[in-house]
Amino acid sequence: MLNNVSVLIPFKPDKGIREDLFKWVTTFYQNVLPEVEVCIGENHDHPFNKSKAINLAAKNATKDVFVIADADIVYNPQIIVKSIELLDKNAWVIPYSKCLDLSEKSTRNLLNVQPKWPFPIEVEYNERHKNNPNYQSIGGVIVLRRQSFSIVRGFDERFRGWGREDDAFKDAMNTLCGPYKRIEDDFIYHLWHPKAWNSNINNNVQLYKQYVNSIGNVQKMKTLVDEQMK
């Protein structure tokens, strides 16, 4: 089952903490999920273009199931097995309901130990959006078939810098391929790093409004995702 999985990881080197996290996470896959194909999409744009990085990773992928995972995320490998089973009846899967943000101290401590699951040391974390139970994260880790990724034309590379690219992908997938299935009661860990500000966020917000206006309209959404290829 896992031999048919390509993990797509978007990445931008920074010669700092993010690069250290990336090395630890890729070693995590080698140690914990050795069967999967790990495909790195490296992007050096300013600001970082996550969409380009994911699409580049997808071009290098050879498997039929895609796991799109951020370079600062780790998780119980069993959620991937569960997700693949759910793809038989669902267009795509979000394999967690909680995102646990590790503290800076715990993150730095993890970087000093060999990556494994479960973690070899105790960690401290805060549950993201704990005070807003009606909000659930979309990005971080998602699971889908290669064919679905192609139908929505991958991630829209007109989104530059962090912000709204995951939401746009969600709306395109839900409209053109079918709604996602969320696995309740499972979680992912987000490793600590300094937050980045996106100077292009207003442009991303304006582009995302076009996706919102296309939700549920197959022809309108198809036209919108096709536009990015011109």
Count of structural domains within the chain? 1
Positive or negative, the Cα torsion across 106, 66, 34, 11?
negative
Beta bridge partners of 92: 144, 180
pLDDT score recorded for residue 142: 98
pLDDT score recorded for residue 110: 97
Q: What is the mean pLDDT of the chain?
A: 95
State yes or no: pLDDT of 130 exceeds 90. no
Q: How confident is the model at residue 177 (pLDDT cuts 50, 70, 90)?
A: very high
pLDDT score recorded for residue 154: 97
What is the tens place of the pLDDT at every residue in 54-97?
999 999 999 999 999 999 999 999 999 999 999 999 999 999 99
User: Concatenated DSSP letters for the chain?
Assistant: -GGGEEEEEEE---SSHHHHHHHHHHHHHHHH-TTSEEEEEE---SS--HHHHHHHHHHH--SSEEEEE-TTEEE-THHHHHHHHHTTT-SEEE--SEEEEE-HHHHHHHTTS---SS-SS---EEETTTT-TT-----SEEEEEHHHHHHTTSS-TT--SSSSHHHHHHHHHHHHT--EEE-TT-EEEE--------TTHHHHHHHHHHHHTTTT-HHHHHHHHHHTT-
CATH code for position 169: 3.90.550.10
Q: How confident is the model at residue 20 (pLDDT cuts 50, 70, 90)?
A: very high
Mean pLDDT over 122-138 rounds to 86
Mean pLDDT over 34-59 rounds to 96
State yes or no: pLDDT of 52 exceeds 90. yes
Q: Are 184 and 170 in contact, with CB atoms under 8 Å apart? A: no
Q: How confident is the model at residue 136 (pLDDT cuts 50, 70, 90)?
A: confident
pLDDT score recorded for residue 199: 80
Q: Which domain holds residue 215?
A: 2-227
pLDDT score recorded for residue 69: 98
pLDDT score recorded for residue 84: 97
